[in-house]
Amino acid sequence: MSAPRLEINLHKIHHNASILIQRLAARGISVTAVTKATIGSPEIACILLNAGINTLGDSRIENIETMRRAGVAATMSLIRSPMLSHVARAVIYADISFNSELEVIRGLSSAAQKAKRNHGVVLMVELGDLREGIMPGDLEQTVRELLSLPNLVLKGIGTNLACRSGVTPDDRNMTELSTLADAIEEKFNLTLDIVSGGNSPNLNWALGNHDTGRVNNLRLGESILLGCEPLQRLPIEGLHTDAITLVAEVIESKDKPSQPWGKLGQTAFGQRAPPAADQGRITQAILAIGEQDTDPGGLQAPAGIDILGASSDHLIVNSGQCHQPVGSEIRFQLNYSAMLRAMTSPFVEKVMGAYDGKAITC
Ligand SMILES: *Cc1c(COP(=O)(O)O)cnc(C)c1O
């Protein structure tokens, strides 16, 4: 097998998705599986549907198009506001899009009219994280205008926390979302099918021991793929945290001093951590993987191996007592950032397998 590669255990992803679906179903909450980190892999989409997911969410229309062309039969939600320049693609390939700008919503309406389709809209509400969303006081006016536009269907409202500022989902902001849903329904005499409370950082709140109000949907990416919750980055009980691992190959292995010599300026990617303490000579290995393939800062090496630094194409490790000969492979655990970049890099092969020996069918 060639390196670098991501080894993707489809059985473990299936397991993670099923467990989260079950736990949230007990609270009346459905799961939209978010596929952006997989750049729309039809195999992974297929596994998610087999696990019981009905709706896939992706921030990029390109990924939704990839899955559609591969015949993935799910409701597709574009979870980032469409660009004005993408509205025609959005209404053709996505069933629903998440929106916060009337200008875009008007564009979707005309595009949907031209395409002779109806398009679902979820309005995003700003509840403090200061990323996307209509300010709560402007929601009613936005709904009023949306309802006057042809070929659009108001599907619901949603919010996104814990991404830009790390604002934690809690009773206060989630109750505000429920209250807004009730108010819109009453004012306009309609039913909102979707009240989407947030992303993986919302799991602790949603599964906590309290009333979840009107929240009936979460959009989950990281928790399904990596088995951890993003607020403290702790593993979620009963989930696999090693469904996706990164394998890289050693291309140089030598005893070298731990300290550089010569006058020091900036490194390839600017100055990082201050130089490590002098450890004398160490067994240094170089792996053929770098910033162009992954986020080196998000890799976790096996016990006994320390990551020392990285540039575009080289990852340098102290292999300690375990000499790593040229040609040997080292396996790393990844955080979200490292996984996202490795999934996106054309230089990293994706090897999928181990779905309980069963064939994958969509
Ligand atoms: C990426 C994203 C998600 C999924 O977030 P995770 O933390 O990976 O679960 C959900 N909603 C929106 C709007 C997103 O952009």
Closest protein CA for atom 13 of ligand 1: 79
Confidence of residue 270 (pLDDT cuts 50, 70, 90): confident
The answer to whether 76 touches 45, Cβ cutoff 8 Å, is no
Query: Is the CB of residue 240 below 6 angstroms from any atom belonging to ligand 1?
Result: no
Question: What is the radius of gyration, based on Cα positions, of the chain?
Answer: 23
Q: Count H helices and E strands in the chain, helices first.
A: 10, 18
Atom number of ligand 1 nearest to Cα 224: 9
pLDDT, tens digit, 9 for 90 and up, residues 106-138: 999 999 999 999 999 999 999 999 999 999 999
- How high is the mean pLDDT of the chain? 95
Q: Verify whether ligand 1 is closer than 6 Å to residue 36 (CB atom).
A: yes
pLDDT number for residue 362? 54
Residues in the chain: 362
34 ligand 1 Cβ < 6 A: yes
Query: 240: which residues sit within 8 A by CB, 6+ positions away?
Result: 9, 12, 13, 15, 16, 227
User: Is residue 350 flagged as an active site residue?
Assistant: no
pLDDT exceeds 60 at position 357: no
pLDDT (0 to 100) of residue 356: 60
| Residue 273 scores a pLDDT above 60 | no
pLDDT band at 345 (very low <50, low <70, confident <90, very high): very high
Integer CA distances (angstroms), 324 to 47, 247, 286, in order: 36, 14, 9
Q: How sure is the predictor about 278, in pLDDT bands with cuts at 50, 70 and 90?
A: confident
pLDDT band at 6 (very low <50, low <70, confident <90, very high): very high
Among 12, 36, 350, 358, the one annotated catalytic: 36
Higher pLDDT, 2 or 359: 2
For the CA of 223, the closest atom of ligand 1 is 9
Instruction: Please report the pLDDT score of residue 3 as a whole number.
Output: 97
pLDDT for 153: 98
Atom of ligand 1 nearest to the CA of 132: 13
Q: How far apart are CA 247 and CA 328, in angstroms?
A: 10
Quick one: tokens of 34?
Answer: 């978010």
Ligand 1 center to 52 CA (angstroms): 19
Residues 177-187 have a mean pLDDT of: 98
Task: Using the predicted structure, report yes or no on whether residue 274 has a pLDDT greater than 80.
Answer: no
Looking at 16-20, 53-57, 274-278, which range is the least confident one? 274-278
With a cut of 80, say whether residue 275 has pLDDT above it.
no
Does pLDDT of 188 surpass 90?
yes
Is 59's C-beta closer than 6 angstroms to any atom of ligand 1?
Answer: yes
The token pair at 277 is: 């303490």
Q: 200 CB less than 6 Å from ligand 1?
A: yes
Question: pLDDT-derived band of residue 336, with 50, 70 and 90 as boundaries?
Answer: very high
Q: Indicate if ligand 1 lies below 6 Å from the C-beta of 219.
A: yes
> Which tens digits make up the pLDDT trace of 130-146?
999 999 999 999 999 99
Provide, rounded to the nearest whole percent, the portion of the chain with pLDDT above 70. 96
Question: What region, left, alpha or beta, does residue 35 occupy, with left being phi > 0 and alpha being psi -120 to 50 degrees?
Answer: alpha
Residue 256, amino acid:
K
How many angstroms is it from 276 CA to the middle of ligand 1? 36
Stretch 7-36: mean pLDDT: 97
Domains of the chain: 9-235 (3.20.20.10), 244-352 (2.40.30)
Residue 273, SS3?
Answer: coil
Whole-angstrom distance, CA of residue 79 vs CA of residue 60: 8
User: What confidence score (pLDDT) does residue 355 get?
Assistant: 60
Task: Copy the structure tokens of residue 59.
Answer: 């921030």
Q: Which residues are within 8 A (CB) of 188 and not within 5 positions of it... i.e. 6 or more apart?
A: 143, 144, 147
Q: How far does residue 220's CA lie from ligand 1's centre (Å)? A: 6
d(CA 27, CA 291): 41
